[in-house]
Amino acid sequence: MFYHHDDMSEHDTLRRFIFEELPVQGRHVHLDATWRAALERQDYPAPVRALLGETMAAAALLSATLKFEGNITLQIQGAGPVHLLVVQCTSGLKLRGLARWNGEVGAADFRGLVGDGRLTMTIEQNGKAERYQSIVPLEGDSLSASLESYFERSEQLATRLWLTAGDGSASGLLLQVMPDRKADADAWQHVTVLSDTLKQSELTGLSAQELLRRLYNEDDVRLFEGAPVAFRCQCSRDRIEDTLRSLGHAEVDSILREQGRVDVDCEFCGKRYSLDAVDIESLFSGGLHVSANSIKH
């Protein structure tokens, strides 16, 4: 069967749903322009494009579960051709991401792409210095399997994900046990067995409403209004200046002498930050002031 959704309101949208009679909630996401914007920065091989799309869909689904303003970063580091993949999503559903790969990337599956490695999930809350980070080995033969094993190992709420990317859009479905309701293993089994019948073409092509009807037509499901998802980088001149300060005055001065100015291109969005000699001087005069004070103490 061929599914096609023309409803523009479903593009780049995340929607939450709950089962009225069961302690289970879910989220559904379609990424269209959001995913394609991330692909503009690099000429990614097709399998890398798809993996980046799936990871972006996963990050959007997971960050939508945050109970505070902040962001989630998913980072995959592996021994395969794709040695690094980073996706960040804010609680306001602003996404950015990139992947790095070596050599030829064939039509490889997940493990063929990333090899043995690890998945790091970092959760940051706005305005708080401490961050929560957990690292799990890449497991199973898909990104969703690796993420699910993270939830199992960290004794978080039972969570399942279905992810797919291709033909210009990336999509995902997440199911999670309700945090404040009595656990119900039968209910969880019931909804996950139904969800496992989902075909990739359905996940890509159906609207949230059609998909819920297709999967859970016997259950009473309430679908909430959609929230827009967008590609937006969190880079800023302040962050670039922090990075340059951490390189040290001597190092930055040597770049300045070589090139007359210091240009830094954001790896995520391609935006260029350009600093001249005066900018660099004021950058480090602030830094020197701080270190002079710290010597006094």
Residues that bind Zn ion (CB under 5 A): 233, 235, 266, 268-269, 271
CB of 101 to Zn ion, least distance (A): 20
CB of 114 to Zn ion, least distance (A): 24
Q: Which residue type occupies 174?
A: L
Tokens (6 digits) for 156: 């978080």
CB of 266 to Zn ion, least distance (A): 3
Three-state DSSP class for residue 140: coil
Select 86 or 266, whichever has its Cβ closest to Zn ion.
266
Q: 186 phi and psi, to 5 degrees?
A: -65, -40
Across 150-195, the runs of DSSP E, i.e. the strands, are 159-166, 169-177
Select 237 or 271, whichever has its Cβ closest to Zn ion.
271
Residue among 18, 2, 1 nearest 208 (CA): 18
Cross-strand partners of 95: 89, 231
CA distance 55 to 44: 15
The answer to whether the beta carbons of residues 12 and 230 sit under 8 Å apart is yes
Select 187 or 233, whichever has its Cβ closest to Zn ion.
233
CB of 239 to Zn ion, least distance (A): 9
Strand order in the sheet with 70-78: 131-137, 117-125, 70-78, 82-90, 94-101, 230-231
Select 131 or 271, whichever has its Cβ closest to Zn ion.
271
Select 268 or 284, whichever has its Cβ closest to Zn ion.
268
The answer to whether the beta carbons of residues 61 and 31 sit under 8 Å apart is no
CB of 267 to Zn ion, least distance (A): 7
Query: What is residue 72's DSSP assignment?
Result: E
CB of 192 to Zn ion, least distance (A): 37
Select 157 or 230, whichever has its Cβ closest to Zn ion.
230
The answer to whether the beta carbons of residues 115 and 80 sit under 8 Å apart is yes
CB of 203 to Zn ion, least distance (A): 29
CA distance 95 to 99: 14
Tokens (6 digits) for 101: 């790969």
Select 213 or 271, whichever has its Cβ closest to Zn ion.
271
